[in-house]
């Protein structure tokens, strides 16, 4: 059976590749081949670590294995990270059972233990996997950087290693994708604004442009970054609040209501439409967060979506009116 | 700073009659919702649960139940529009995606 060897050193290309993936460039095709990889000089007694075939995942695991002799079993998750793959069913019992058989893992090692990433657990049934393969499953830590300590402690993870966090940096690295995700819709909106300008008596200008761009940033960058510090719990609310603060700032900067560079009606349009937009963008960040339950998201949506539609609808009407009077 | 999501919403249930205190749920839960106390599992903070389903899938005694799913608004909207179950499938094929 073919075994590939790999290193614990990331090269320049790996770093460029991860940067591109974070910005959504070729992100869905950033994969390594499934199979067995050796790190260092593993033998029949060496631990087996299972991971996904998303290259960002594979790289973040192997760079933490300096000085260790271990096997990595990469399963085919279609280039998706462990947690998302477990959620959508590509990191599952079936795939691991199949891969263990196909690679002849029972011949490569003499022990019968595999270490699965803890975040794979939503997709896997450990007892069923053991029943079908004879391999006992031990769930490793959430973060690859704890692997060494976990192995040193005799494959025991501390409570701390078991907990998912969503710290400042974790949120920050996600914001480029949030921003990229809003670009297509934003361009469409700019196109509509441009077309309206052709017939408007008081066309949209620079203020309208940065008011809108700032709103998108409030929802897709500022809300994720400030997430735990923004009061309240629902994401839509947090996004609405950030958008509202931005809109009020824009309005004050332009001298409203006393000597507005734009009229009162347009100001009202902003107040109604823009926070609804940032609320919607922020609500969609629930999917990138690590702690929202589907029941909770549904509850939030049932409350927030109708309000967003009404508020945005009324705001758009006010903005349209403001173009002509 | 810890994150707190909505209160009293999750579908997580623990049947103590079936529990043997093996501790698998404490091993897989990413939010430390369970502890083992007096030889049995105990839910210490329900509101931290994100309904990922790891505990229910890995409990050998079917003592834990939860309706698992993706806590993602975009996925839920897509599910409404296409009439399918919400899933993380926004990444399939499409270049823009969520998780």
Beta carbons of B72 and A284 less than 8 Å apart = yes
Q: What are phi and psi of A37, to 5 degrees?
A: -120, 145
Both tokens of residue A206?
A: 């620079």
CB A112 within 8 A of CB A136: yes
Residues of B in contact with A283 (CB under 8 A): 73
Nearest one of A120, A118, A123 to A147, comparing CA atoms? A118
Long-range contacts of A192-200 (CB under 8 A, 24+ apart): A196/A320, A196/A323, A200/A323, A200/A324
Q: DSSP alpha helices (H): ranges in A89-125?
A: 93-103, 105-108
Residues of A in contact with B54 (CB under 8 A): 86, 118, 121-122
Residues of B in contact with A159 (CB under 8 A): 32
Q: Residue B94: how many CB atoms within 10 A of its CB?
A: 9
Beta carbons of B50 and A298 less than 8 Å apart = no
Instruction: Compare CB distances from A84 to B10, B30, B88 and report the shortest one's residue.
Output: B88
User: How near does any CA of chain A get to the CA of B88, in Å?
Assistant: 6
Instruction: Compare CB distances from B91 to A80, A122, A294 and report the shortest one's residue.
Output: A80
Nearest one of B85, B96, B46 to A284, comparing CA atoms? B96
Residues of A in contact with B60 (CB under 8 A): 126-127
pLDDT tens-digit map of A111-153: 999 999 999 999 999 999 999 999 999 999 999 999 999 999 9
What's the pLDDT score for residue B1? 62
CB A39 within 8 A of CB A144: no
Beta carbons of A288 and B99 less than 8 Å apart = yes
User: How near does any CA of chain B get to the CA of A292, in Å?
Assistant: 5
**Band (B21; pLDDT cuts 50, 70, 90):** very high
Angle between helices A294-322 and B73-82 (to 10 degrees): 80
Task: Write out the E strands in A122-209.
Answer: 136-139
User: How near does any CA of chain A get to the CA of B64, in Å?
Assistant: 13
Beta carbons of B70 and A294 less than 8 Å apart = yes
CB A211 within 8 A of CB A245: no
pLDDT tens-digit map of B11-20: 999 999 999 9
The full 3-state SS of B13-60, as one line of letters, equals: EECCCCCCCCCHHHHHCCCCCEEEECCEEEECCHHHCCCCCHHHHHCC
Identify the weakest region by mean pLDDT among A177-191, A192-206, A288-302, B84-98. B84-98
Domains and CATH numbers, chain A: 3-164 (3.40.50.11600), 169-322 (no CATH)
Report the mean per-residue pLDDT for chain A. Answer: 92
Nearest one of A293, A54, A60, A291 to A164, comparing CA atoms? A291
pLDDT tens-digit map of A13-44: 888 888 887 777 777 778 899 999 999 999 99
pLDDT, mean of residues A246-253: 92
3-class state of residue A120 by DSSP: helix
Domains and CATH numbers, chain B: 1-68 (3.30.70.20), 70-99 (no CATH)
User: How near does any CA of chain A get to the CA of B40, in Å?
Assistant: 17
- Rounded CA separation A293/A305 (Å): 17
What ipTM was estimated for this complex? Answer: 0.88
If you ran DSSP here, which 8-state letter would residue A218 be given? I
Residues of A in contact with B99 (CB under 8 A): 81, 83-84, 87, 287-288
Instruction: Compare CB distances from A122 to B3, B31, B53 and report the shortest one's residue.
Output: B53
What's the pLDDT score for residue A48? 97
Residues of B in contact with A139 (CB under 8 A): 27-28
Instruction: Compare CB distances from A287 to B49, B54, B99 and report the shortest one's residue.
Output: B99
């Amino acid at each position: 059976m073919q075994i590939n060897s790999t290193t614990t050193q990331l090269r320049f290309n790996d770093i460029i590749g991860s940067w591109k993936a974070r910005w959504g460039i070729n992100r869905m095709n950033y994969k390594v081949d499934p199979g067995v990889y050796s790190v260092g000089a593993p033998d029949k007694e060496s631990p087996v670590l299972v991971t996904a075939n998303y290259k960002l995942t594979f790289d973040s695991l192997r760079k933490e294995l300096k000085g260790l002799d271990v096997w990595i079993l990469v399963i085919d998750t279609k280039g998706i990270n462990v947690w998302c793959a477990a959620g959508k069913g590509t990191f599952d019992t079936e795939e691991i059972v199949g891969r263990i058989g196909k690679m002849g893992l029972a011949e490569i090692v003499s022990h019968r233990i595999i270490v699965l990433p803890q975040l794979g657990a939503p997709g896997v049934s450990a007892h069923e996997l053991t029943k079908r393969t004879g391999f006992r499953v031990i769930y490793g830590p959430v973060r690859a950087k704890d692997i060494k300590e976990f192995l040193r402690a005799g494959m025991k993870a501390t409570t701390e290693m078991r907990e998912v966090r969503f710290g400042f940096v974790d949120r920050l690295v996600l914001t480029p994708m949030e921003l990229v995700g809003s670009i297509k819709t934003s361009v469409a909106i700019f196109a509509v604004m441009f077309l309206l300008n052709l017939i408007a008596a008081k066309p949209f200008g620079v203020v309208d442009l940065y008011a809108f761009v700032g709103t998108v940033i409030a929802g897709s960058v500022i809300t994720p970054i400030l997430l735990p510090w923004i009061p309240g719990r629902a994401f839509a609310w947090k996004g609405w609040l950030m958008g509202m603060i931005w809109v009020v700032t824009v309005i004050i900067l332009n001298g409203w209501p006393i000597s507005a560079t734009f009229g009162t009606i347009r100001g009202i349009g902003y107040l109604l439409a823009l926070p609804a937009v940032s609320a919607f963008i922020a609500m969609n960040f629930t999917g990138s967060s690590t702690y929202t339950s589907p029941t909770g998201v549904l509850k939030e949506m049932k409350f927030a979506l109708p309000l967003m539609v009404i508020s945005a609808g009324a705001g758009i009407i006010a903005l349209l009116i403001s173009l002509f009077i | 700073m810890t994150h707190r999501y909505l209160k009293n919403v999750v579908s997580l249930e623990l049947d103590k009659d079936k529990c043997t205190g093996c501790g698998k749920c404490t091993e897989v839960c990413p939010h430390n919702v369970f502890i083992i106390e007096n030889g049995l599992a105990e839910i210490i903070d329900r509101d931290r649960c994100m309904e990922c389903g790891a505990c229910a899938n890995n409990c050998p005694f079917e003592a834990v139940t939860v309706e698992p799913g993706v806590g993602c608004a975009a996925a839920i909207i897509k599910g409404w529009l296409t009439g399918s179950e919400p899933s993380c499938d926004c990444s399939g094929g499409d270049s823009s995606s969520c998780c």
